[in-house]
């Protein structure tokens, strides 16, 4: 025959384990994250020579500077030059990727930007022969 103490411990142990698990899950759910103040966004605009479907920015480690952009442009832009820049700055030549006929999209990768995120008002894009 089992002692009453052993039976009591066996009954309390699962309840205690569940309580600890609930406590740990609750603590993880209530933990806070710290997010720095950065600006990123999207918009529409006039593009000379093509239509931009999507823009994705690359940021510096601290999020205060835009260092690059990936563009998805409608149509086959094989052999054409894509250039981009912020606000009224000179446009920089991007690397034009491959055309995907199934989606009718040509990608372009732009790097070398040093644009402060707070001052990034307009991304200008141009496509030329």
- Summarize pLDDT for 66-122 with one digit per residue, the tens: 999 999 999 999 999 999 999 988 999 999 999 999 999 999 999 999 999 999 888
Tell me the C-alpha to C-alpha distance, in Å, between residue 28 and each of 14, 19, 32.
21, 14, 9
pLDDT band at 63 (very low <50, low <70, confident <90, very high): very high
C-alpha 109: how far from chain center: 15
**Whether residue 73 sits in one domain with residue 19:** no
Query: Domain range for residue 3?
Result: 1-32
**Whether residue 58 sits in one domain with residue 18:** no
pLDDT, residue 19, reads 55
User: Poorest-confidence range of 10-14, 20-24, 114-118?
Assistant: 20-24
The torsion angles phi and psi of 13, rounded to 5 degrees, stand at -55, -50
**Whether residue 16 sits in one domain with residue 69:** no
Number of structural domains the chain divides into: 2
The reply to whether 42 falls in a domain is: no
Rounded distance, CA 48 to CA 75, Å?
Answer: 13
Rounded distance, CA 8 to CA 10, Å?
Answer: 5
Q: Does the model's pTM come out above 0.85?
A: no
**Whether residue 87 sits in one domain with residue 25:** no
Residue matched to tokens 């995907």 = 100
């Amino acid at each position: 025959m089992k002692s009453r103490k052993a039976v009591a411990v066996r009954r309390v142990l699962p309840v205690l384990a569940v309580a600890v698990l609930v406590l740990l899950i609750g603590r993880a759910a209530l933990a806070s994250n710290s997010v720095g103040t950065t600006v990123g966004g999207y918009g529409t605009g006039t593009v000379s020579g093509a239509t931009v479907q999507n823009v994705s920015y690359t940021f510096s480690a601290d999020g205060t500077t835009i260092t690059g952009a990936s563009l998805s442009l409608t149509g086959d832009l094989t052999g054409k030059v894509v250039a981009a820049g912020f606000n009224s700055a000179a446009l920089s030549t991007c690397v034009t990727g491959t055309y995907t006929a199934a989606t009718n999209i040509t990608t372009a990768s732009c790097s070398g930007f040093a644009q402060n995120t707070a001052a990034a008002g307009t991304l200008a894009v141009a496509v030329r022969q």
